[in-house]
Amino acid sequence: MASIASKPALVTLRQLLSKLRHQSSTKKLSENQMVQYIFGQYRKYQTTDKQLCKAAEEMHYKAKTYYNYLHHSRRYKEINTEFKGKGERSIQETANMVGFKLPHDPKP
């Protein structure tokens, strides 16, 4: 049963803050509204060692899911820009790609 102070929850929080730091436009991470919301949720569901709270586990699951979303959306953008097609190619480019030469038009 993962409380907020447990190691997996803290690792997830650090990973999430790292991803938000990469995508944030603000200089200070503490000024970011998303970070303030995440800290608020972590504080809200903070439990002691003797308490057992399903909401804390659910919050940890949501945080992990959001981290995965941020990580993989950033990776998707990197892959998409690297392998993105160039759209329609001209006849000349297509012929060069295949190894053909187009006949040239003689000027009258």
Domain boundaries, the chain: 1-70
Tell me what pLDDT residue 72 has: 94
Instruction: Give residue 48's Cα distance to chain centre.
Output: 32
Contact present, 35 and 17 (Cβ < 8 Å): yes
The per-residue pLDDT for 49 is 55
Q: Give pLDDT, residue 1.
A: 40
| pLDDT on residue 108 | 59
Whole-prediction pTM: 0.54
Cα distance between residue 3 and residue 43, in whole Å = 11
Show pLDDT as tens, one digit a residue, over the chain (108 residues). 455 557 888 888 888 888 888 887 878 888 888 889 888 888 887 765 555 667 777 888 888 999 999 999 999 999 888 877 777 878 888 888 888 888 886 665
Q: How many residues does the chain have?
A: 108
Instruction: Confirm if 9 and 60 have CB atoms less than 8 A apart.
Output: yes
